[in-house]
Amino acid sequence: MYILAIARLELLIARRNLWVAIAILLMVLFDAVLTMAGDAPTGMLGVSPLTVALTSITTLSVYLVPLIGLLLSFDAISGEMERGTLTLSLSYPLSRVEILIGKFLAHICVLAIAIGIGLGLTATLVIVQHGSQHLEILPLVRLLLTSLALGASFLGLGYAVSILVRQTGAASGIAIAIWLVCVVLYDLGLLGALVANGSGVFAKSVFPWMLVANPADAFRLINTPDITANILGSGVSAAGSVVGFTGQLLSLTLWPLIALALSCLVFEKAEP
């Protein structure tokens, strides 16, 4: 009951978060644009309109979903510390873990609503433009669930930053730095190492595992539908095949659990 009360309060706070609202609006808008713009390649490549749309949306989600997760969570604890409400929250008959779980449930609901609206709009546009025979439920459900897992990973990281830093301004800067490193710079670093190593041991043995160790890359690999869509969406699918679907799924499953467990551990030791 107390966890649900915390979740309800966090939902009200998230509703007033302007940056989150803008990010969600952009996600829905781009989903619609990418779906409508995906008609051109389908005839040339012989793939379904939904496949092209989901490949483009996957690339977009790799950037936006972690960003939304961090925007939701970077001030979840530090903001309460600055407002002086954390001490009041801790005076209630519930543990710190329960407080964090309540916040997590609210924030994952916000993510689910944003992603669900975007994918629902995509499905509607595909039906309107091409007919219901081109609609495939499994890829949509897979993209929804893996997007939530990706967002949950960065929610957990954002909570840890919020607890450790204790100041909202500094927490926001570190959150953006985490986003840049995990989503942008990590892949650039791997690409540079791959180019430098050529076809050596790194390219064959180390690179595939380092690639799937990043939840953003694991998400991208899982949602790259087939070899035709790989041409459109990503050039890393060959490396992903070395690790396999099990490794990719394991990465996306473990990251949220580890990140949330780390946040709970840090929160238990933090002083309000």
pLDDT of residue 44: 52
Angle at which helix 137-165 crosses helix 215-222, to 10 degrees, equals 170
Interaxial angle between packed helices 96-130 and 2-15, expressed in degrees from 0 to 180 and rounded to the nearest 10: 50
CA 210 to chain centre: 18
Please report, as a single letter, which amino acid is at residue 52.
V
Question: Amino acid letter at 222?
Answer: I
Q: The whole model's pTM is what?
A: 0.88
Domain extents in the chain: 2-269
Report the C-alpha gap between 169 and 256 in whole angstroms: 24
Closest of 268, 259, 246, 262 to residue 66, by C-alpha: 259
Specify whether the CB–CB gap between 247 and 70 falls below 8 A.
no
What is residue 131's predicted lDDT score, i.e. its pLDDT?
79
| Tokens read off for 232 | 């459109």
pLDDT of residue 241: 58
Handedness of CA 177, 23, 65, 46 (dihedral sign): negative
**Alpha-carbon span 262 to 178, nearest angstrom:** 16
Question: Which of 84, 97, 76, 86 is closest to 20 using CA atoms?
Answer: 76
3-state secondary structure 86-109: HHHHHCCCCCHHHHHHHHHHHHHH
Residue spans of the chain under pLDDT 70: 1, 38-47, 198, 225-243, 272
Alpha helix (H) residue ranges in the chain: 2-15, 18-37, 39-45, 49-73, 78-83, 86-90, 96-130, 137-165, 168-179, 186-197, 201, 207-213, 215-222, 227-233, 237-269
Structure tokens at 47: 């793939």
CA distance 109 to 96: 20
pLDDT of residue 228: 43
Distance CA 222, CA 48 (A): 18
Q: How far apart are CA 240 and CA 91, in angstroms?
A: 48
Helices 237-269 and 137-165, packing angle to 10 deg: 40
CB 139 within 8 A of CB 53: no
CB burial of 52-68 (b: ≥16 within 10 Å; e: otherwise) equals bbbbbbbbbbbebbbbb
